[in-house]
Structure 1
Amino acid sequence: MKTVHLHIEGIVQGVGFRPHVYRLAQEFSLNGWVNNAPDGVHIEIQGKPASVQDFLNALRENPPKLSRIINRTETLVARPKFDGFQIIESKDNSEKSVLLTPDYAICTSCEKELFDPENRRFRYPFITCTNCGPRFSIIDGLPYDRIRTTMQPFNMCSECKNEYDDIYDRRYYSQTNSCPVCGITLSIAENGQQPCEVPDIFQRIYSALHEGKIIAVKGIGGFLLLCDASNKESIQLLRQRKGRPSKPLALMYPDEEMLLSDVETTPQQLEAYMSVEAPIVLFNCKGSMESDLQVNEIAPGLTSLGIMRPYAPLLALIARDFGSPLVATSANISGAPIIYNNEQALSSLSWIADLIITHDRDITLPEDDSVIKFTPEHGKRIILRRSRGFAPNYLARKSVSTDPVLSMGASLKSTFALQHGENTYVSQYLGDQDSFDAHESFKHTLGKLAGVLDFTPREILADMHPQYLSTILAEKLAKSHTIPVWKIQHHEAHFAAVLGENGLIESGEPVLGVIWDGTGYGTDGQVWGGEFFNYENHRFSRIGHLAYFAHILGDKMSREPRLSALSLLHGTIAEQAIKDCFNQQEWEYYHKVLRKGDNLQTSSAGRLFDAAACLAGLGYSTTYEGEAAVKLEALAKTASDKKNLRPIDFEQCMSPVYHLLRFHQFLTNKMPTADAAWQFHAGLVQAIHFKARSHNYRKVAFSGGVFQNDVMVDLLVSLMQEKFELYFHEELSPNDENISFGQLIHHGISSSAVAAEEYADNFYEN
């Protein structure tokens, strides 16, 4: 008789792991037990040696579909003879280090039952099983069991309990199991009234949407705002009420067939769209669309649409009933975090939404929808927002350190990260920390996740920018815990993040880091954003940057591309091309500012893209972060000539002024604006190519918001992949969402014995 103890770590709770193990034990006639613990799943399996080995092989080769195993330990142990095999009570007396299961979209089996009139869960808006449903957003503690989720108040009826106890049922040990008899209840609030139950709630929603009204619906991670995507007036009203004049709105389609009739797709896009994560996926519109989508109202100035499938059964019912595409955007005022609890929804959304649909299952950890896209030529996946379905785990290749460390990230597109034992957790996207509500949401999520994991940091990491609220909060937390806070340069954190993702920390040869974004506090007191770094022997060094130009009027410059254009074109003949973007008083005043000569300097690639967008006539002010660059990217995608690459002057290729004047020359020579925009992107890629070639690099890694631009990414791959090894972000976004992870990596590298002598030089202790 052989007995083996298994400890399995990873995403192994809330994915049907224990039922799967139970069934395998029955199949191989083995005895023992399985349970959840705060550090994963533990199994003791006992029987004939050959049968035990067959069990171990089967579990290794065919784990539960939604599980992700990152570590598995097998230990031969001596035990008395077990009587049968059982799932035993979860233990909570070990260190809480299990990875947290994300929220998953409705599975095909549940969706089939949802629309089956013969099924007892027909049209039940909260149908789930071990293969789908909320997990992370409803967790209260570990290990993952119903009593430690917001499903705890709902007592299962006899039929649900029978399913829960039936080894052959897919709801065996499903912690979210419920039905219309014992489950979650929908309510509706209208015209500022208190929510109430009504028998025809879906008919009321259907009628309201057809009447052009706006509906707020409580989804998995928070409330969504829905309206008819073919109703121009309804979309305009939503934008007006939400304070979102031009930022693109996401869509939700009732089925895949309708999606295919409106957009161009690739197998990669469809796979992501139908995945258990069910993110918003960007698709290009077809020239002729079958639906009556108001494309110009939904995504002004853009060529792609962000579309998600109805990932929750409640949304699936609404979408199927309505039968046409719906706008589906986060329920918040523009710039504020998503609203997720009933009380806040009723107080804050009543003047945005005509109907508010609530339910009585609480959300503990709010999440926006994740957003991804694929580059058109090479199919590189780019994560634009990492949240529902992906957060909060990061399945690292190997942790740099196992010390408990908290990193606070940046300010825009904020996240935090925790290093907790062998596991790394990167929070969901938490918005712009300049917003009070977003900062409160950041603190709530940090407190909740730290509580779930019993996490207490020994060190805290933050951005060097002294005015970031995340940095200020880091200092307060460090003081309250009496622990050190280390401040890490923004772009070095970006570089560390892409190194960490691609397993380059122990690279045996130098790596060139191309870190381009909008802004970051530099060690010389200037505004960085067009940086080149070298990584070698666990050391970071800045080896170059786009030439400095005047950074004027603070944050106003990032909101008004005309100011970037003026700063770069000041003193050149080309500045007359943008004079109409200013009135005479502004023109004179801004020139006076530029003539002062003591302005802050910037190397920002983001501001260069803004300037080019202004020069291309795409607007001289913006209403959302990155708008100008996104429109320039969309324009470049429509270029008719993408083969005739115009060479650049390599002696001037690090000058933003040169690139903008080159772009201006294309326009004055009557090159089509889209072709000129493509050549502008290509010129910058050639500059990167030149930098890598002239310094004899083989490995080049890219990070920063500029590399969300799929024209840039495709050009980089096309021009450089034959001679260089190129590294991009894989599981994280290239934008500032990766800063918190990069801070962890940077700190781990710089704290290692190899780099200990330079620790004080690379960090700035408070």
Structure 2
Amino acid sequence: MSGRERRLVRVEGVVQGVGFRPFVYALANRLGVTGQVRNDSSGVLLDVEADPDTLARFIAAVRAQAPPLAVVEKVESTVADPVGWPAFAIVASQTQAQRNTLVSADSATCADCLAELDDPADRRYQYPFVNCTNCGPRFTIVKDVPYDRPFTTMAKFPICARCETEYHDPADRRFHAQPVCCPDCGPRLDLLDSAGQPLAGPSLPTAAEMLRAGAVLAIKGIGGYHLAVLATDEPAVATLRSRKHREDKPFAVMVATVDDAREWCSLDAAARKLLSGWRRPIVLCDRREGTALAKSVAPGNRQLGLMLAYTPLHHLLLRAVGGPIVLTSGNTSDEPIAYEDADALARLGTIADAFLTHDRPIHIRTDDSVARSVGGRPMMIRRSRGYVPEPLTLRPETPQPLLACGAEQKNTFCLAKGRHAFVSHHIGDLENYQTLRSYTEGIAHFGRLFDIEPAVVAHDLHPEYLSTKYAMELENVELVGVQHHHAHIASCLADNGESGPVIGVAFDGTGFGTDGTIWGGEFLLADLVGFTRVGRLAPVAMPGGAAAIKQPWRMAAAYLDAAGIDDFSVLSQRHEGDWSTVVTMARRGINAPLTSSAGRLLDAVAAIVGVREAINYEGQAAVELEQLADRTEKGHYRLAVLDGETLEVQGVDLVRAVADDVRAGVPGPVIAARVHNGLVDLVVRVCGQLRDRTGVDVVALSGGVFQNLLLVEGVVAGLGGAGFRVLTHSRVPPNDGGISFGQAAVAAARLSGRP
């Protein structure tokens, strides 16, 4: 053993379930390194021997040449006494009391597996569950760590002799691939009627035939059930809308390839990369005119949510159907996605004509992720399948394990310890028992996987949020309240690895303010620890409270009255029976809380323009106002900003200008464009005033309103032209789906700043 050195190498990160041990095995044999590698509860542990130069090259390659799905965060090595390892081996995993391992996200089918799927000579030819070390289900089948087959839902499928040979062959692509299976030993496909009884005929071809004939199918995917129809079949899409009780909200469409996607949408390079990457989110893209897509897929919307097939089953089904399919979450409105077979049959039996299902259990439900390209950079709209549970980095680290409970709508939670923040999959709106159950079960599951028992719990200030009530009911924890819009800005800061200070522009629909009113049009001087409100939209009453969110005409009535416009016949005559009552409520503050919300201002404008007087999904009025806007219009409305300790933006100026143009017969698309251009001008002007006061020249944009492409692109360009550095979201959504990450970042910063 003269001249040989032994090192114990600890590798942390996403290094289980991604082919890391087979990679290390091959690397060691190529370089002549002996020893062993194992999974444990903290990641991967290597015990290796070679001459010092070879070991140095080996350890450098472990980090630099890791498999594509791996994320190597830390490599630490210590010298030990040589023992004379004769060869290199993969050995059994170890479970430790303290668990720090990370779990890989689910991955789209790789090119090698697709080639097998298409090869008539291969034993996995057209097998809808083909997978390997580089692809397939991960997070959604993991019950516990370390990531080994007994701790996954594949444990119920005893491995056959041929698969076991592949599993133990270092030269095979399935070497230590935990979900390895084949038609002899793996999951099986079934086609059932709406009552759960088997249907005659081969499952997949029969399902494809049903889709072509106009049927609605429930399809079991990686993270839950989807509902599917042929995307070019207008009656079928309309039927799905009716049965699902989803009146207007756009459906996502799945296609087989990027070339297929180009038939329906125009794609920039960033969108193509998002679509074809292994994460496979739904990507919002500009629609092409004159296609055969059913009008009911995305009514009144210039964009389409596209995704590429990401499981072998999807690939096979799309080929058999021969066209695009609508693929939307398997639920009715406001419920979480169904993922358990019996529950799916019970909840979807009145929607679907048949169920294309299988017997591999899903352990944790996970919706599809949604993203878009903004300025050539991805922006998450919903972060879920393909991204979760990969951790985000907290700077500063949290000195105590913590839970951030998130918001009420688009809820996610976040568990964190040290530098790792584990933002959950999309939970949804905490409005019913099913969603709340998904929330509490998800927190428990993440706590087990990542060995986090929170000592600190961060929550929103709104006392009626179910997430806040959940926090308040926990025992033996320290509670940290975080104001909603501060959490938005902190989320943007943490998303960009910064700590502030910044001028934070937080525009959204609803958030509980420190003064007890509803905020949502805020300019904050903020860092991770705290904030000062330095600007706002002037408050206006919300007549009827929550009713004003669902009925934008109420916000129009309140704003028109505040603007001194007594009669706006276009609206007031249509709501003649309620108009005066609503105006009186607003004037007297009867069930009419004050709001500074930019979302509610956009709602009012949308109703005045005639876009939308009542909504069927959150933010619909503002979304349709954006879709209406004439992109060539350069004019804008100017909103006055009153000086003072807190700058106050006069939203009534926007309403007066819009009302005047509507009365003058100016086309709606022109008015909608001037509204957006006016808000862009406003943000740039206010940030300029605040820079003069504070010297801060960095701006962070957050809140659901900044999902609006016209606004975010206009504001980024305008601020950039004015000499600002602008931070936007990329890894977590600007909407309430990013709130939990912001809460965690604030709590960590406050905790780490203590003496």
State whether residues 542 and 586 of structure 2, in contact with CA within 8 Å, keep that contact through their aligned partners in structure 1. no
State whether residues 412 and 740 of structure 2, in contact with CA within 8 Å, keep that contact through their aligned partners in structure 1. yes
State whether residues 497 and 742 of structure 1, in contact with CA within 8 Å, keep that contact through their aligned partners in structure 2. yes
Structure 1 residue 583 displacement after superposition: 2.9
* Alignment partner of 1:494 is 2:497: no
State whether residues 399 and 423 of structure 1, in contact with CA within 8 Å, keep that contact through their aligned partners in structure 2. no
1:691 to 678, 686, 695: 686
Q: Partner amino acid for 1:364?
A: H
1:520 to 507, 511, 525: 511
C-alpha distance 235-34 of structure 1, shift in aligned 2 (>3 A): same
Matching of residues 626-665 of structure 1 within 5 Å:
626-636=619-629, 638-642=630-634, 644=635, 649-651=640-642, 654-665=649-660
SS of 2:155's partner is coil
1:541 to 526, 532, 547: 532
Alignment root-mean-square deviation, CA: 1.8
SS of 1:357's partner is strand
> In the alignment, what sits opposite 1:709?
708
Matching of residues 147-296 of structure 1 within 5 Å:
147-195=150-198, 200-289=202-291, 292-294=292-294, 296=295
> In the alignment, what sits opposite 1:311?
310
Offset from partner CA, 1:490-515 (integer Å, 9 cap, x none): 1111121112222222x4xx311111
> In the alignment, what sits opposite 2:444?
447
Offset from partner CA, 1:396-446 (integer Å, 9 cap, x none): 163431311111111000011001233210001100001221111111211
Q: Partner amino acid for 2:532?
A: S
State whether residues 97 and 420 of structure 1, in contact with CA within 8 Å, keep that contact through their aligned partners in structure 2. no
SS of 1:176's partner is coil
* Alignment partner of 1:45 is 2:48: yes
* Alignment partner of 1:465 is 2:433: no
2: CA distance between counterparts of 1:573 and 1:322? 56
SS of 1:421's partner is strand
State whether residues 96 and 454 of structure 1, in contact with CA within 8 Å, keep that contact through their aligned partners in structure 2. yes
2: CA distance between counterparts of 1:146 and 1:327? 33
> In the alignment, what sits opposite 1:591?
583
Structure 1 residue 236 displacement after superposition: 1.0
SS of 2:153's partner is coil
2: CA distance between counterparts of 1:171 and 1:126? 14
C-alpha distance 610-441 of structure 1, shift in aligned 2 (>3 A): same
Q: Normalising by the residue count of structure 1, what TM-score does the alignment of the two structures yield?
A: 0.94
2: CA distance between counterparts of 1:678 and 1:104? 40
C-alpha distance 195-458 of structure 1, shift in aligned 2 (>3 A): farther
Structure 1 residue 366 displacement after superposition: 0.5
> In the alignment, what sits opposite 1:730?
730
Matching of residues 277-676 of structure 1 within 5 Å:
277-289=279-291, 292-294=292-294, 296-375=295-374, 378-396=375-393, 398-476=395-473, 478-479=474-475, 482-505=476-499, 507=500, 510-535=501-526, 538-570=529-561, 572-573=564-565, 575-580=567-572, 582-597=574-589, 599-636=592-629, 638-642=630-634, 644=635, 649-651=640-642, 654-676=649-671
State whether residues 566 and 578 of structure 1, in contact with CA within 8 Å, keep that contact through their aligned partners in structure 2. no
Matching of residues 28-67 of structure 1 within 5 Å:
28-67=31-70
Matching of residues 135-150 of structure 1 within 5 Å:
135-150=138-153
SS of 2:310's partner is coil
Q: Partner amino acid for 2:8?
A: H
C-alpha distance 620-705 of structure 1, shift in aligned 2 (>3 A): same
Structure 1 residue 256 displacement after superposition: 2.7
Offset from partner CA, 1:159-179 (integer Å, 9 cap, x none): 111111111111111111000
State whether residues 253 and 307 of structure 2, in contact with CA within 8 Å, keep that contact through their aligned partners in structure 1. yes
Offset from partner CA, 1:204-240 (integer Å, 9 cap, x none): 1022112111000100000011101111111111111
SS of 2:395's partner is coil
State whether residues 274 and 280 of structure 2, in contact with CA within 8 Å, keep that contact through their aligned partners in structure 1. yes
Q: Partner amino acid for 1:415?
A: T
C-alpha distance 145-537 of structure 1, shift in aligned 2 (>3 A): closer
Number of paired residues? Answer: 741
Structure 1 residue 185 displacement after superposition: 1.2
SS of 1:230's partner is coil
State whether residues 516 and 705 of structure 1, in contact with CA within 8 Å, keep that contact through their aligned partners in structure 2. yes
Structure 1 residue 283 displacement after superposition: 1.4
State whether residues 15 and 70 of structure 2, in contact with CA within 8 Å, keep that contact through their aligned partners in structure 1. yes
State whether residues 599 and 622 of structure 2, in contact with CA within 8 Å, keep that contact through their aligned partners in structure 1. yes
> In the alignment, what sits opposite 1:760?
none
Structure 1 residue 141 displacement after superposition: 0.4
* Alignment partner of 1:719 is 2:709: no
C-alpha distance 581-14 of structure 1, shift in aligned 2 (>3 A): farther
2: CA distance between counterparts of 1:526 and 1:45? 62
Offset from partner CA, 1:150-209 (integer Å, 9 cap, x none): 01111111111111111111111111100001100112211414347x551112102211
Percent identity, aligned pairs only, is 35
Q: Partner amino acid for 2:613?
A: Y
* Alignment partner of 1:748 is 2:748: yes
Offset from partner CA, 1:567-603 (integer Å, 9 cap, x none): 1111533750542574321112212212324642100
1:26 to 6, 25, 29: 29
Offset from partner CA, 1:457-499 (integer Å, 9 cap, x none): 11212111111111111122x23xx223232211111121112
Q: Partner amino acid for 2:195?
A: G
State whether residues 246 and 299 of structure 1, in contact with CA within 8 Å, keep that contact through their aligned partners in structure 2. yes
State whether residues 38 and 143 of structure 1, in contact with CA within 8 Å, keep that contact through their aligned partners in structure 2. yes
> In the alignment, what sits opposite 1:759?
none
1: CA distance between counterparts of 2:452 and 2:515? 35
State whether residues 99 and 423 of structure 1, in contact with CA within 8 Å, keep that contact through their aligned partners in structure 2. no
Q: Partner amino acid for 2:616?
A: T
5+ residue gaps in structure 2? none
2: CA distance between counterparts of 1:641 and 1:493? 35
Q: Partner amino acid for 2:255?
A: Y
Q: Partner amino acid for 1:340?
A: Y
SS of 1:64's partner is coil
1: CA distance between counterparts of 2:640 and 2:260? 49
